[in-house]
Structure formats: C-alpha cells, structure tokens
C-alpha cells in the first residue's frame, strides 16, 4: 500500500500546488517522452535530477520519498531482469556496459514514477476534475474519474476490515504454497467486489435523488486561469522536450563508463 | 478470562483511540460496552481476539498475551461477529458460509455437517440452507454472519452492534440466545448503542468516552445515573426516565426492568386507592 500512500494528495499550498493541472500534466507527459527516447544513463540521470527542485519547492519531500520507496521493489525486478538477460547475452560475463544499461533501464522507470508522483502529490482530485472538465471532456467522465480517485482510500480501509473479519473466522493469510496463498485471498476479494458494486449502485441512487444531471450547462465556482508560474512551466517543458529531441538527433551520447575513462 | 492492562492504542494515521484502558472480564460474564461514536469501543474489542495489538500495555486472553499468538489461533476461543455482515459473506450458499470457519479450524466433515445444521436451526435459517447469502435481506445476512461464528461454539463471544437492523422479534430471540449462552457459562461481550436492549438484558455495563473507561458497573446502577450517562452521550432507558421523573412520588430511581416497574407502580396505585 505504500505506493498508494505516496500518490495520496494532501492539501498544502506551494507554488507547485497552485499551478494549472493541465500544464502540469503536459509537463509529466514531456518527461515521459524524454525518458522513453533515451536509453543512455547520462540523460536519464539529468532527467532524474531536474525534477528534484520541483519536489523541494512543493514541500512534499517526505511523501515523495515514501512513494519512491514503494517503487524500490519493482525497480529491483527491472534491474535484475535487464542485468540477467544482458549477462546471458554477453556470454556469461559481467561488463561495465551491461551494468550501466540495466541501471539506465531502472532509472527510466524511476523517472516515470518520480514525475507521476509529483503530479499526484501536488494536484487535488477536485483540481484534476476541474481540469478535465475545462478541457471539454463530458462531465460524466470527469465525475467518474474523480470519484474513482476519491474512493481509493475508502476501498483500502474496507479491504482491511474484510481481512479482519475473515481472520476472526480463522483464515490464515500467510503460509502455504503459491496457489494456496492465492486461494486464501478469495474470501477477501469477493466481499470487496460485491461491496464496491453495491456502493456504486447506492451512490448512483443518491446522486439521482439529488438531481444529478438536471442542468445541461454546468458552471464552476472555480475557473482555471493561467498565471505567470504556468507560463514558466510551459517554457521549462518546451525547453526540456526540445533539448531532449535535439540531443537525441544530433549528439552521440557517451556512456558514463567511457566518459570516466576519458577523464582519468 | 480477558485481562486488559493499561492498554494504549494509536492507529497508523496518528489517532490515539485508546488512552490507557484497564479491565478484567471473567469467564461466564456478560458485559455491554457503550459510549458515544468514536469512543474507542470497537478498537477495544478488536484487541480481545488479537486483530489489533496494543501499542502500550497488554491484553491477556486466558493468560496468553495476544501479541504472542496469531488471530486465527485466538479466534478458536474468541468469536467475533462484525457489525456489517457484508464484510465477510463470500460463499455461494449459506451452508458453505457457515462451514467456512469450521474448515479453517480443521473440524471433521461429519462434525461440520452437524454443526452447520445446528447453527441454521438456532438462528432460523434452515430454509435458506442452499440460498446465496447475497440474496438475503440485511437482517438475515446479519444472522448468517452470527451463525457462521456460533457454529464453532467459541468460549467467548464478541458481538459488535448485534441489534442494528433487527426487528423486535429477532432482538428478543437474540436476547434469549444470549441468556442461554450465559447459562452455559460462556463469556459474552456486546458493543452497542441500543440502551433498551441493554436494559432488558441487564449485563455489566462499561461506559467509554474519548478512549478511556468512564464507568464500570451493573446496568441498573449505571443506566439510571443521568450524570454519568450524559458524559458518555447515552440516554437512560425509557423505564429509567419515567422513574427519574416520578422520584418526587417517593419511587426508587434505579429501575430499568419493565416487570419490576409494573410491580412498583401497581403497589403505589393500590396504596392510593385505599
């Protein structure tokens, strides 16, 4: 659950929190693209580092670290698979290149998690819904999206209660072989799914009894407006993306290994 | 026997739900834990079968520290029926639902069959034996949940809000059933807001407030003391309210039982008639 913890929004005010969520999303996409077009270690390290100021500026260091810690397990798997395959491919020898390659792939994943984590930590679900609405996505979809985001913690809590209830009836969740362990989770998943369906039906009824969808043209109390910070972020985003593409097309990127070799 | 020694409990989100609770519940005792919402009642009883472990202090069940054994081991001794039956129902039929715990505890096939039938009979669910628990009404689902715990005949039984969503007849059945369990020297602990139900059962009443135990005593003493009750956001039962208001007639204040009340009122009326 620690990964979710790291994506959970907390209401604080900072220059980053006040940015337009649409621009922030474009920024995340730009980082995403930049991370995908590079497979060398050096640019990925750069991508990783240029996001740190955002974290510090937003004051979400602790939550961000927690989400990064949640990603460690998957990162380790990515590293190991890459490493083992290049190890076998190179004829069972460890080369500096293969290690660097595996680290680069892992870092790529970490950069992606990093940028998404910054986005979700600094954007409230309401803000996100507002952004969706004002990009002219039908309100039904926006509502479904924000509701889904909002119900994640509720669902986590319910899963805990269900686990308690089944443990109280003698269910052992730990132990047994792999198949047995999966089977153990059936008594937890079924009440959770049934409960979710039941709740969504109830939510639909409650919404309809409060005249959901009665007005065709919705207006919002808050309207997103671009400020100076947003324009700065646009500039930064365009800068990162342009530099990334330019570097990709016209430069041969040295591997860290070669670079260190030429220095010493 | 459950011994709670200066238990503190803080949830991972930082909420301190219990701030030093100590009490002992003896074998064969019938106790009702009452108090306002968020007083820590459910948090406290979740310590009795090890679902929660104290952050400070200790809980001993028959002398065994709950921190040292798994919930499944403790559950054999301490049955816990949750407030919302939907957090546990998952089987295709009511029968399988009740057999689930018995299978977990490793009962033999023929014993499981006998126990399931016994539990179905006890709670009037025989006609639903092959029905899916999801097709039943709220009250019936609650009884299935109760049956699924009673089936293994635990020595101690914890019921979290057992009367919610039950009609009068079912409540009366539940009361008789509790009395029967009490006669068998089983320990019963209920968590409830239903003050009338408690007045009828006349158990030991434990009042909680803000993570602390405020009062511990007989129902007829606690439930007729308006000052203590207001502190814990509990309203006295109707009979007690009548007798508190009639105290200027020289009537006793500590009455919660309907039959006792009737006797007293009749004797007063007879005297006035003379």
Are A204 and A231 contained in the same domain?
Answer: no
- CB contact, 8 Å: B71 with chain A? yes
Are A247 and A118 contained in the same domain?
Answer: yes
For residue A31, is it within any domain?
yes
Nearest to A166 among B46, B76, B88 (CB): B88
Q: What's the fold here for domain B1-70+155-232?
A: Rossmann fold (3.40.50)
The whole-angstrom distance between A168's CA and the closest CA on chain B is 5
Instruction: Break chain B into its structural domains and give their ranges.
Output: 1-70+155-232, 78-153, 237-274
Are A12 and A102 contained in the same domain?
Answer: yes
- CB contact, 8 Å: B66 with chain A? no
Give the mean pLDDT of A34-38.
90
With an 8 Å Cβ cutoff, are B72 and A171 in contact? yes
- CB contact, 8 Å: A194 with chain B? yes
With an 8 Å Cβ cutoff, are A198 and B86 in contact? yes
With an 8 Å Cβ cutoff, are A187 and B100 in contact? yes
Report the distance separating Cα B46 and Cα B42, nearest Å: 6
Q: What is the ipTM of this complex?
A: 0.86
Are A38 and A59 contained in the same domain?
Answer: yes
Report the distance separating Cα A18 and Cα A207, nearest Å: 30
With an 8 Å Cβ cutoff, are A169 and B134 in contact? no
Report the distance separating Cα B195 and Cα B226, nearest Å: 13
Are A26 and A78 contained in the same domain?
Answer: yes
Are A106 and A16 contained in the same domain?
Answer: yes
Please tell me the pTM assigned to this model: 0.76
pLDDT by residue, tens only, chain B of 274 residues:
999 999 999 988 788 999 999 999 999 999 999 999 989 999 999 999 999 999 999 999 999 999 999 898 899 999 999 999 999 999 999 999 999 999 999 999 999 999 999 999 988 899 999 999 999 988 899 999 999 999 999 999 999 999 988 888 888 988 998 998 899 899 999 999 999 999 998 899 999 999 999 999 999 899 998 888 988 888 999 999 998 888 888 888 888 888 889 999 998 889 888 8
For residue A218, is it within any domain?
no
Give chain A's domain count: 2
For residue A253, is it within any domain?
yes
Nearest to B71 among A158, A161, A168 (CB): A168
For residue A214, is it within any domain?
no
Are A199 and A71 contained in the same domain?
Answer: no
Are A104 and A147 contained in the same domain?
Answer: no
Contact by Cβ (8 Å): A105, A36: no
Nearest to B90 among A164, A168, A190 (CB): A190
Structure tokens at B194: 């239903």
Nearest to B90 among A158, A161, A186 (CB): A186
- CB contact, 8 Å: A230 with chain B? no
Handedness of CA B146, B147, B150, B151 (dihedral sign): negative
A72-119 pLDDT, tens per residue? 888 999 999 988 888 888 778 877 888 888 899 999 999 998 888 888
How far is CA A84 from each of CA A75, A90, A96, A102, A104, rounded to the nearest angstrom?
14, 10, 13, 9, 14
With an 8 Å Cβ cutoff, are B104 and A198 in contact? no
With an 8 Å Cβ cutoff, are A172 and B89 in contact? no
The whole-angstrom distance between B187's CA and the closest CA on chain A is 17
Are A9 and A53 contained in the same domain?
Answer: yes
Q: Which residues of A touch B76 (CB under 8 A)?
A: 170
For residue A32, is it within any domain?
yes
For residue A220, is it within any domain?
no
For residue A242, is it within any domain?
yes
Structural domain harbouring A145? 135-209
Are A111 and A230 contained in the same domain?
Answer: yes
Question: Which residues contact residue A187 at a Cβ distance below 8 angstroms, ignoring those fewer than 6 apart?
Answer: A166, A171, B88, B90, B100
With an 8 Å Cβ cutoff, are B87 and A161 in contact? yes
- CB contact, 8 Å: B49 with chain A? yes
Are A116 and A18 contained in the same domain?
Answer: yes
Identify how many contiguous H helices and E strands chain B contains and give both numbers. 11, 10
Query: A196 pLDDT exceeds 60?
Result: yes
Contact by Cβ (8 Å): B33, B41: yes
Are A94 and A150 contained in the same domain?
Answer: no
With an 8 Å Cβ cutoff, are A195 and B105 in contact? no
- CB contact, 8 Å: B99 with chain A? no
């Amino acid at each position: 659950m620690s990964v979710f913890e790291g994506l959970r929004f907390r209401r604080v005010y900072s220059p980053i929190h006040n940015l337009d969520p649409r621009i922030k999303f474009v920024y995340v996409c730009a980082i995403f693209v930049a991370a995908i077009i590079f497979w060398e270690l050096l640019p990925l390290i750069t991508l990783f580092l240029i996001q740190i100021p955002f974290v510090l500026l937003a004051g979400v260091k602790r939550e961000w670290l927690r989400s990064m810690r949640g990603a460690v397990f998957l990162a380790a798997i990515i590293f190991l698979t890459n490493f083992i395959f290049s190890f076998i491919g190179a004829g069972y020898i460890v080369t500096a290149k293969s290690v660097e390659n595996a680290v680069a792939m892992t870092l790529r994943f970490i950069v992606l998690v990093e940028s998404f984590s910054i986005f979700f930590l600094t954007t409230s679900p309401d803000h996100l819904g507002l952004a969706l609405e004002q990009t002219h996505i039908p309100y039904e979809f926006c509502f479904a999206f924000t509701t889904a985001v909002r119900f994640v913690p509720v669902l986590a809590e319910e899963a805990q209660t269900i686990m308690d209830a089944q443990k109280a009836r003698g269910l052992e969740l730990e132990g047994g072989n792999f198949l047995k362990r999966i089977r153990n989770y059936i008594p937890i998943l079924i009440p959770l799914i049934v409960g979710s369906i039941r709740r969504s039906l109830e939510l639909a009824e409650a919404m309809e009894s409060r005249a959901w969808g009665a007005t065709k043209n919705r207006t919002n109390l808050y309207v997103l407006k671009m400020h100076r910070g947003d324009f700065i972020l646009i500039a930064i985003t365009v800068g990162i993306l342009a530099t990334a593409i330019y570097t990709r097309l016209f430069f041969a990127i040295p591997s860290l290994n070669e670079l260190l070799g030429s220095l010493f | 026997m459950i011994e709670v020694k200066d238990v503190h409990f803080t949830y991972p989100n930082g909420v301190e739900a219990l701030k030093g609770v100590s009490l002992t519940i003896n074998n064969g005792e019938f106790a009702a834990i009452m108090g306002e919402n968020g007083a820590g009642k459910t948090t406290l009883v979740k310590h009795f079968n090890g679902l929660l472990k104290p952050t400070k202090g200790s809980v001993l069940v028959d002398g065994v520290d709950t921190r040292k054994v798994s919930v499944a081991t403790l559950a054999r001794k301490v049955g816990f029926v949750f407030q919302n039956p939907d957090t546990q129902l998952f089987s295709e039929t009511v029968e399988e639902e009740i057999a689930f715990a018995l299978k977990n505890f490793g009962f033999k096939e023929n014993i499981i069959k006998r126990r399931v039938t016994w539990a179905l009979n006890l709670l009037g669910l025989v006609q639903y034996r092959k029905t899916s628990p999801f097709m039943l009404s709220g009250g019936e689902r609650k009884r299935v949940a109760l049956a699924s715990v009673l089936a293994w005949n635990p020595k101690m039984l914890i019921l979290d809000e057992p009367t919610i969503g039950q009609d009068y007849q079912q409540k009366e059945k539940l009361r008789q059933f509790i009395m029967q369990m009490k006669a068998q020297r089983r320990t019963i602990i209920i968590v409830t807001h239903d003050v009338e139900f408690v007045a009828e059962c006349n158990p030991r009443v434990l009042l909680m407030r803000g993570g602390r135990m405020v009062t511990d005593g007989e129902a007829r003493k606690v439930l007729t003391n308006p000052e203590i009750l207001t502190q814990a956001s509990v309203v006295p039962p109707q009979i007690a309210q009548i007798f508190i208001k009639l105290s200027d007639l020289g009537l006793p204040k500590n009455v919660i039982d309907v039959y006792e009340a009737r006797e007293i009122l009749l004797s007063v009326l007879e005297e006035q008639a003379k």
